[in-house]
Amino acid sequence: MSFNSDQLAEKIKTMDQKEAVEMLLSILSTSDNMESKIKAAELLIQFDESKNKYFQYIKNTFLNDRHPQLRLQLINLIGTYYKDEGINFLKEQYKTCSDGTVRKNLIDIVGKVDLNTSIPFLIEALNDANIEAKEIAITYLGKISASEALMSLIDLLHLKNAEIYDSLIYAIVKIGKKGNLEIINDYINTEDPHIKREIPIILGKIGSKESETILIDFLKDDNPIIRKNSVKALEKIIELKNIKNVLEVLEDKDIEVRKETIRVLGNIGSKRAVAPLLELLKEDDVKIRNFAKNALNKILSKSKSYELLYDIVKGRNINARKEAIKLLGMLKDVNAIDLLMTTFNSKVTSLRGAAYRSLLKILNDKIDDKIINALADKSWQIRMFCIKILGEIRDPSTIDNIFNFIEDDNGSVRKAAVDALIKFEDEKVIELARESLESSNWKTRRAVVKLLILAGNKESFDSLMSCLNDEDVYIKSWAAMALGKLKDIESIEPFIQLLKENDDKIRISAIKALGEIGNKDAIKPLIQALGDDNWDVRKEIENALNHIDPDWMNYL
């Protein structure tokens, strides 16, 4: 007799109760179809008004049929419908069940249905070989804060199992917060290193002031992991009068312990930590410096003056100076603007870069008069970096200020001005550039051409056409190469004329441009130029011809 679940349910509706029960019992005892058995069990329970009349049949099915999926379904039915008798039955079956998945489900249903009276059972389940079953037992014991399970839970730390770690610590801490510190403290001198190193973490999460002395003693333990965990635990427990004990750990020989100590001092926020943390800014280890810098940022964020940092910036230690500069940026100290701009004159590249990035953080996309005024500084480096800053802020009111430096005597300043202006993406920049193409100053014209090339729009490229007749070799060359990237050039005649120039650079640029444009009208002029005396020119002509038409030799 075999039905699927829907068929069986419909069949039962057509039968009286006695016939239905007989059929369901028959299915439970004889059917090989698992789906039919599960549905039969569900339907049979519905006829079990006394909640125990047919329980024995359900139990027999569980005991006699070893199919895991069937047993999983029966566990839920037994636990849900038969409560006390069902839970007791399941607890007994746990002892002899060999299937880990079934045991896991069995523990789960016991915890859901009968948690308060199942603590001994759950403690026993802590020894389950199935790690998921073990974790379920841990979770329920933590949920009920079962003090009698505390030692068994702590002993599980010996396994050092990552899968159950979080659940295990959570359960132990929850029980510990109920006033079971004495049991946990008994493990302080345990010889099991896996358990001992977790004790500080547990005490820290419990957060009892009673644990402060124990954790301070742990700071001198031989095991660096225990020292690190103890520092972390003291973060929310230690009284400020005892902060010296944590400060001493800054000298620890283990770098991970030192990093954790620095982090904790930053979170505690005691100003007593400022001086030793400032000393750490001199360290060669960049990670230590970063930790110290971040900790100092937290401590100093509420200060009104940063004179200690100014002194370091003016000092000699490069590492400390660089980190102090970064810190002033993190603190957004507007009073440090002048000092940071002075750093632009430093011979150390990393200091100049750090000062630039810090000023951007301080200004926060707002113009400061000090930056505008510094554009007139005698130092080209100060002028250059201030232009870069204005380019990042991109306030349209500063376009004229920046454009004036297109004519600066220093090439780096002119380049900074071009790079800054292109970031504005403003039509005014193109207008100013086009007007400056008539300048008698070749430096200005070169800078403007670079600007128009970088702009890359139609208006800028239209202006570049006039540059093909410029007397400056570089301007002609740059303009030709840039214009060559356009596919809709109306006339290639200006480029053909450049093939006759005396300067090799101009001829090569014109050839490359004609190759890029791809107009077949350029083939014959290029073939005529194949007799050029310069090998590089001839090579570029061949490349251009091949690009325009691989069969260009047919034009000979």
pLDDT for 280 = 97
pLDDT for 521 = 83
Q: Per-residue pLDDT tens for 194-210?
A: 999 999 999 999 999 99
pLDDT for 458 = 61
Alpha carbon distance 501, 496 (integer Å): 10
Alpha carbon distance 214, 203 (integer Å): 9
pTM: 0.75
The token duo for 90 is 């399941």
Torsion angle in degrees (nearest 10) through CA of 354, 355, 359, 360: -30
In the chain, which residues have pLDDT < 70?
1-5, 49-51, 456-470, 476, 478-491
pLDDT for 162 = 94
- Non-local CB neighbours of 29 within 8 Å, separated by 6+ positions: 57, 60, 61
Evaluate whether 455 touches 486 at the Cβ level (below 8 Å): no
Taking CA atoms, 283 is separated from 85, 260, 293, 340, 503, in Å, by 69, 16, 11, 22, 55
Alpha carbon distance 264, 298 (integer Å): 11
pLDDT for 464 = 65
pLDDT for 224 = 97
pLDDT for 176 = 94
- Non-local CB neighbours of 275 within 8 Å, separated by 6+ positions: none
Degrees to nearest 5, angle at CA 371 with 370 and 373: 65
Give 189's DSSP letter.
Answer: T
pLDDT for 88 = 92
Query: How deeply is 488 buried, as exposed, middle or buried, from its count of CB atoms within 10 A (0-12, 13-18, 19+)?
Result: exposed
Hunting for tokens 């010889």 — which residue is that?
A: 191
